[in-house]
Amino acid sequence: MLRRFWLFFAQAVTVLLALMFIIATLKPQWLQRQGQFAKQLAEPIVALREVAPGIGSGPAQASYADAAQKASPAVVNVFSSKDGSLPPDPRAKDPLFRYFFGNKNNNKQQEQPAANLGSGVIVSSEGYILTNQHVVDGADQTDLAVLKVNLTNLPTITLGRMDQTRVGDVVLAIGNPFGVGQTVTMGIVSALGRNHLGINTFENFIQTDAAINPGNSGGALVDVNGNLLGINTAIYSRSGGSLGIGFAIPVSTARSVLESIITTGSVTRGWIGVEPQDVTPEIAESFGLEQKSGAIVAGVLKNGPADRAGIKPGDILVSVDGQDITDTTRLLNLIAQIKPGSNAKIHLVRKNRELDLEVMIGKRPPPPKQPTDDSGDQDDDGG
């Protein structure tokens, strides 16, 4: 039986080979068509370009993944709690969960749940975290705060340089908007030195169109290398969400505030004891002033730094240590950044005559205590 099967197989193969020989000799085009058909089956339906394995989807400069990966570990979420309460069980909002387990978990911890307030940035491996003051104490005033955690060897962020930052630079905003989890958004530096926003007495903000939403406050604004440029602080919005106008406190200000809080326990700002007022074209015209910009001194505190230096009401302050004064906000920011006890050269105009006076910067006194209300910033506007 096996022998008969083998003879049949050998005969069949012999016949097929003979047919292939005859076709190849007499009709070779038939075999070419068959090969073309097989090739068509192996090719894609349309011509497509596909990246080779192991190669990214574009040039390295088109991605900010390295910057995000470098900075993200140092950005944390900030929660608050009352009476030691813990975050609520997320399943408590599930109707099916409540049906089976009832309200047994709705104890005091659930009645006073922890709230997702915002974000923070680890700036020191010793456990120092920069965030916004309004994140940690609910204040309306927008400023910086420092948190300290008893942990070591934490991932930290690298501080960038504001003097190398330009309008148009690409930036990333990292934080935890709406409590959804750490999120990275991208935009550009829209403006530098933004003020007159009514957010705080001292305003010197980076404006960006990187999406900043509730929960981003206290998070990091970083450059394309993952270095910290600012602490995300506020947004301009009519709906509560991002409209492409966000503000961050520059890293230069954040660093000085951090060092001041760690050293003295409070923020120490420079002060000269004057009541300034913007020099507007109307004021210049009414007083016959040639100077069209700066800050005019409306009042001088007796025995204050400015009084001792010889500054008088009516003087127009033009510059501080060579930096131009365009208005009162600029004056406040320049003076506030000078360390108390150091001298500053103030260039002024008195009765259309230019003068240079040296002022020893004093320590800005705390604002007078006022009843707690919803009025927002209680700081005075004096320089």
Q: DSSP assignment of 77-130, as one string?
A: EEEE-STTPPPPPGGGG-HHHHHHHTTTT-SHHHHS--EEEEEEEE--TTSEEE
Q: From the candidates 119, 143, 319, 347, give the one annotated as an active-site residue.
A: 143
Question: What would the pLDDT profile of 206-256 be if each residue is shown by its tens digit?
Answer: 999 998 888 888 899 999 999 999 999 887 766 666 677 889 999 988 888
- The band of 382, judged by pLDDT with boundaries at 50, 70 and 90, is low
Residue 143 annotated in active site: yes
**Active-site residue among 72, 119, 190, 217?**
217
Q: What radius of gyration, in Å, describes the C-alpha atoms of the chain?
A: 35
Helix-helix angle 2-26:28-42, to 10 degrees: 100
Task: From 225, 123, 251, select the one nearest 171 (Cα to Cα).
Answer: 225
Q: Using one digit for the tens of pLDDT, what is the confidence trace for 177-217? A: 888 889 999 999 999 887 766 666 667 789 999 988 888 88
Q: Is the pTM of this model over 0.75?
A: no
Distance CA 176, CA 232 (A): 11
Q: What is the pLDDT of residue 186?
A: 93
Residue 196: active-site member: no
CB 218 within 8 A of CB 78: yes
pLDDT of residue 358: 93
For residue 30, the SS3 value is helix
Least confident of 283-292, 309-318, 351-360: 283-292
Q: pLDDT tens across 291-316, in order? A: 677 888 989 999 999 999 999 998 88
Q: Are 272 and 348 in contact (CB under 8 A)?
A: no
* Terminal CA-CA length for the chain: 114
71: pLDDT strictly greater than 80: yes
Q: What percent of the chain has pLDDT over 90?
A: 21
Higher pLDDT, 158 or 351: 158
Neighbours of 360 (CB within 10 A): 14
Cβ atoms of 267 and 281 closer than 8 Å: no
Name the β-bridge partners of 175: 183
Distance CA 330, CA 339 (A): 17
- Confidence tier at 55 by pLDDT (50, 70, 90): low
Range of lowest pLDDT (74-83, 246-255, 313-322): 74-83
Top pLDDT among 53 and 108 is at 53
Predicted pLDDT at 148: 87
The predicted pLDDT at position 42 comes to 58
Nearest to residue 293, comparing CAs of 311, 316, 322, 320? Answer: 316
Residue 337 DSSP class: T
- Residue 128 CB coordination number (10 Å): 19
Q: Give bridge partners of residue 348 from the DSSP assignment.
A: 317, 355
Question: Is residue 119 annotated as a catalytic residue, yes or no?
Answer: no
Q: Tokens 């942990």 map to which residue?
A: 151
pLDDT confidence bin for 118, thresholds 50/70/90: confident
